[in-house]
A and B are shown apart, each in its own frame.
Chain A
């Protein structure tokens, strides 16, 4: 079983904030981490390998520094790592990212591809399904449980708005996973040692024979026009007094509103 896990290095967004007065991002020493959902994708890959044999390849497209994310994944137990890095990839939106990943995965070969549900910087959740389309394989998004997997098919639970669907797909397939799926393992000491020395395969645009007009900023249909701070909430009222008085005031306020809650 050839298992490929797509991971992305992201700033720890819990700590990225915008200063509403100056409109600038405040982030003193925000660390770069593996996108949290992708840790679950790696764990899923490792579990499938433990069951069916094969190897887990982690792949990322990013700047040279993204190598650290790959080493972290290797220390969890991934077998091989591929870094897609090239100035020409910079500025890629989801379309160009998915295209670029598809070129590389076509070269590597995969029976199952696992992505995180979304990356916490862009929050788009688009790369997985777009990648599946480029590879011309089926996909199942929002997988929260893998019921069964064999060499040629997989049955999973897909999280939906009001519950879940049980979905069967033929392999090769791409899945995107949510956090409920599993608990990512911590790297072992031995894993860490091995990861330090492991060789990371680097691929450029030329290596994957990517069409120049389809990668990076050039290949990206969308453009960021403006970035700004979210508006802060309208007027705010603290309701003072004893608990009884506070509750009474709240009831009065709610009664005074146009919508009829009470």
Chain B
């Protein structure tokens, strides 16, 4: 494919020039011209008021697979830590169930290095079938054996869609699976749909640090693979009466050239598990010092939540990196996010803007954090938060 400007139609309005994220469009003799910078992202196609920018397909283009219809069923990879199924796996089952029902196919889960009991749990949460491999080598996450075994299972059973969590684990080994299978992989998706007619999976995800959204398809290859951002998809209510099969997988020849020597948990006074927390009270540079986080911890504890931070607060050394939220930190999606003294830079917003309810407390009424907040308080953190703590305590009779 190429993107071309039909110069006879181009009016020279330059709208496309600023639409290009790669600076690939320049003006030449009053007409738009696509340079070699072009990454074929198509951002310019829809912006031309004249419709002068078009895509041209070249002969023999597009990879094809023998028979997409030979692939059937939706799979999710259920990640576990210390044998316990991670919450993202239940969210994947929620999303997977919906897709499987739309397509009229079965939903299977793949579980490595965990127990039969965990496999049953996956069935309660929506799986029709669980592939369970219980090798000791799989108990701790290890890229190569995970990738090899999953690729083998996919090759054998040929599902049309395979999802994994966009967690450090999923984002590390899933690309290897895609490489082995010559499959398309879409990272960190936040929404899925099935395209009517083609049955293709429409995979929507943020790009450019959350500044734009893109919908990706994998029309000619199977399976269609995606990692899914944690805490975005809704899990189903567990149904203990659900029936499903557990299929035991006995892999042989598994090996690994990496070895996990130790797993270290980093916990502060208030143990952080940001991605699973329902309430997060987050602090930024506006706190002024490390002591401010003591105040936030008190508020978080009252609400049954944990403490997060902006990068500025982490860089200042007031709190450890494991609390950082945003593009270079964690992505969170709690029910309640209270941002205290955080300006709301886009790199911070991408990590928290899908929270259900956002409360912002900031001295500056112009702070961009207010653009994403459901409730905004213009005020001093050191005045507002102690009051809030006091009122909540009164309410709880403490």
Contact = CB atoms under 8 A, between A and B. Distances in A.
Interface of A: 11, 13-14, 16-18, 22-28, 30, 32, 63-65, 87, 90-91, 93-95, 98, 120-130, 132-134, 137-142, 155, 158-170, 173, 178-180, 213, 217-230, 232-239, 243-244, 246-248, 250-251, 253-254, 257, 259, 261-262
Contact of B258 (A11, A26, A167): A167
Contacts of A213: 63
Most buried by A among B22, B23, B202, B388: B22
Interface string B48-70: 00000000000011110000000
B119 interface: no
Interface in B342-398: 345-347, 353, 356-359, 370-380, 383-384, 387-388, 391-392, 395-396
Contact of A18 (B20, B39, B179, B211): B211
Contacts of A233: 353, 358, 371-374
Interface string B131-162: 00000000001011001000000000000000
Contact of A236 (B41, B206, B209, B374): B374
A221 B221 contact: yes
B120 interface: no
A83 B35 CA distance: 18
A24 B15 contact: yes
A166 B21 contact: no
Contacts of A32: 23
A168 B18 contact: no
B172 A165 contact: no
B216 A224 contact: yes
Contacts of A179: 328
A253 to B, nearest CB: 6
Given A155-B261, A165-B260, A219-B63, 20 more contacts: A11-B22, A24-B19, A27-B23, A28-B18, A64-B36, A93-B184, A95-B182, A121-B208, A124-B187, A161-B167, A162-B81, A222-B184, A222-B217, A224-B40, A227-B42, A227-B214, A233-B372, A239-B377, A246-B377, A246-B379
Interface residues of B, number: 117
A89 to B, nearest CB: 10
B291 interface: no
B264 A221 contact: no
Given A25-B21, A227-B212, A163 B264 contact: yes
A237 B46 contact: no
A139 B174 CA distance: 12
A17 B371 CA distance: 15
Interface stretch (B91-99, B106-114, B239-247, B271-279): B271-279
Contacts of A87: 36
Does more than half of chain B's interface fall in helix, strand or loop, or is it mixed?
A: mixed
Contacts of A124: 187-188
A27 B262 contact: no
B188 to A, nearest CB: 7
A140 B213 CA distance: 29
B126 interface: no
B87 to A, nearest CB: 11
A225 B207 CA distance: 13
A225 B358 contact: no
Interface string B174-188: 111011101111111
The 7 closest A-B pairs by CB, nearest first: A221-B184, A91-B40, A133-B179, A138-B257, A222-B184, A129-B175, A124-B187
Contacts of B186: 222
Given A25-B18, A25-B20, A167-B261, A142 B168 contact: yes
Contact of A120 (B40, B184, B209, B378): B209
Contact of A27 (B21, B81, B377): B21
10 contacts: A24-B15, A91-B40, A123-B208, A130-B176, A141-B143, A162-B273, A169-B259, A218-B62, A228-B213, A250-B377
B178 A95 contact: yes
Contacts of A248: 391
B144 A138 contact: yes
Interface in B192-229: 202, 206-221
A134 B46 CA distance: 36
B303 interface: yes
B248 interface: no
A80 B384 CA distance: 56
